[in-house]
Structure 1
Amino acid sequence: MEAPRETLILVDADDREIGTSEKIDAHRRGLLHRAFSVVVWDSAGRQLLQKRALGKYHSGGLWTNACCGHPRPGEAVEAAAMRRLGEEMGFTCEIEWLGIVQYDASFENGLSEREVVHVFRGRYDGPVRPDPAEAEGYQWCALDRIRSDIAETPDRFSVWFKRYIAEEWPVALIRPSAARGTSTAHRAEASTMASDAHSDASSDMPAILARIVGDFAADSGTIHFIGLDAHLHLAAASPGIPDAVLAIIRTIPVGKGMAGLAVERAEPVTACNIQTDASGDVRPGAKATGLAGSIVVPIFDGETVVGALGVANRSERTFSDEEIARLVLEGRRLAARR
């Protein structure tokens, strides 16, 4: 059982430490603090869910991801995540940092959550022995079933887990076909190798992106290339994109968001105003950029799609056919330099 007076790390919106607070007091006063979540998969592509114990300080009896918690002052977030995974579910496994999500939520008991959450993933195929004081049950579930269960009975799931599913965090984790026979460490190594390769080959990408953004009278831009893990990896981004957004767009699953859809469809994806777009092409996190008119084109190497190039404006904008053709050409030039 958790210590009754656990101390949390208070942070600002950029996850910079600004102080500490007793846990229940922080949740009573709605103070922004650092937290973590761990998502665990098995080799069959199923995700491990836990049913929170009824005695938890909020969200008792609800289904959620494998493990959540708070690092202690002076404790590294990854170390805290590993510690709590063992304490809550009775096992540990290698984990990999994915990114950061911030959320606010209020509960019927008067407590609230305001967290900057570091999300980790891991793979595990052994026995699960949850502490009854933490979790009263667990199950391994396919992602499609999790989605359908949330759609049918949303009140059975924690508010943060529903957000992870809605914002496609699990899709960025381990695909069933890729999971079999491949350890988390090897996947992490492949992702790192892909990122390092692009870094070495494209050290001039930020300067090229700055020129493209200027040529198109845009306010911001990004370049992504497909890595060895079949995900899009950020090669360059314009200054000014919020850190929380950068954490999300560093790795993008193909088929998700404007960049992922441009690659999947092998055609440009546009939004006159991403703040009001209702097409479903824009991911919720994109609104945090404050941008409006946006376009992402696939980067072609011959006939093969190898990445995505996007530019955006702070005001509404519709890109002409001539501008789209020019941006596609810029993408082909990028492919030759990667």
Structure 2
Amino acid sequence: MSPVNSSELVVLLDEAGQSIGSALKSAVHHSQTPLHLAFSCYLFDEGGRVLMTRRALDKRTFPGVWTNSFCGHPGPDEAVPDAVLRRANQELGLGIADLRCVLPDFRYHAVAADGVVENEVCPVFCGRAVGTVNADPAEIMESVWVPWHQLRAVADSGWAISPWSAEQIPLLEGAGVGRQG
């Protein structure tokens, strides 16, 4: 797996969701994080189970927290679906089939216990995992495949999952995700 790229750029957004420039990813996540573009992705296996991952302890935001399959940021001039495919390979060593954007307008703001803020327009994607999970330990410390109904029960219980996943899971279910599993 490749080392973390300290020169990775994120796309900064205005309140209307329009690009207003870019900044180093390493410099934008703090107590006054500017609005920027990101994405979340939920990967399913052939049996309809969803891949949940636990963020590495060295992650800048929400270290050690269980969350969706993976997240990321498209670079300037990178199409969001292309960024999703790129990050699936980088973080999990996986390809994706049947990639689709399910929640194109998802946006959230969350404050971690250490005061670091996430402030993102974050389209949410779903797809079918292709290959075997080979997680980059700098990104993901654990992963588990779970049936959707168990994930929904965890989200409803208030168990410690990422704040974006806690918001996304009921919205995804309302959009028909997870009904097959």
Aligned-partner SS, 2:135: coil
Give 1 or 2 for the bigger CA radius of gyration. Answer: 1
- How far residue 15 of structure 1 moved from its aligned partner, in angstroms, is 2.2
RMSD over aligned CA atoms reads 1.9
Matched residue count: 176
Could you tell me how far 1:17 is from its partner in structure 2? 0.6
TM-score (norm 2): 0.88
State the Cα deviation string for residues 215-266 of structure 1 (Å, max 9, x = none): xxxxxxxxxxxxxxxxxxxxxxxxxxxxxxxxxxxxxxxxxxxxxxxxxxxx
* Larger relative contact order (Cα-Cα within 8 Å, sequence gap ≥ 6): 2
Point out where structure 1 has 5 or more consecutive residues left out of the alignment.
178-338
SS in 2 for 1:148: helix
Larger relative strand fraction: 2
Could you say if the C-alpha distance between residues 110 and 77 of structure 1 is closer, same or farther in structure 2, counting changes exceeding 3 Å?
same
State the TM-score, normalizing by the size of structure 1: 0.49
Shift in Å at residue 170 of structure 1?
7.2
**Structure 1 residue 141 displacement after superposition:** 0.6
Q: 1:41, 1:174 within 8 Å by CA — same for their partners in 2? A: no
Say which is worse superposed, 19-28 or 140-149, in terms of deviation: 19-28
Q: Which of 154, 158, 162 is residue 162 of structure 2 equivalent to?
A: 158
- 1:98-137 alignment, distance < 5 Å: 98=102, 99-124=104-129, 126-137=131-142
Q: 2:52–2:68: 8 Å Cα contact kept in structure 1?
A: yes
Q: Distance in 1 between matches of 2:143 and 2:45?
A: 13
**1:1-338 matched pairs, under 5 angstroms:** 1-28=3-30, 29-94=32-97, 95-98=99-102, 99-124=104-129, 126-152=131-157, 154-155=159-160, 157-169=161-173, 172-173=176-177, 175-176=179-180
In the TM superposition, what is the alpha-carbon distance from 1:119 to its structure 2 partner? 1.3
CA contact (8 A) 2:95 2:131 kept: no
SS in 2 for 1:25: helix
Q: Following TM superposition, where does structure 1 have runs of at least 4 consecutive aligned residues deviating by more than 4 angstroms?
A: none
Deviation at 1:5, TM superposition (A): 3.4
> Could you tell me the percent identity over the aligned residues?
34
Q: Give 1:125 shift.
A: 5.5
Task: Write out per-residue CA displacement over residues 120-141 of structure 1, whole angstroms, 9 at most, x where no aligned residue.
Answer: 1101263111111111111111
Q: Give SS of 2:143's match.
A: strand
- Cα contact 1:50–1:66 (8 A) shared by 2: yes
Report the 3-state secondary structure (helix = DSSP H, G, I; strand = E; otherwise coil) of the residue aligned with 1:154.
Answer: coil
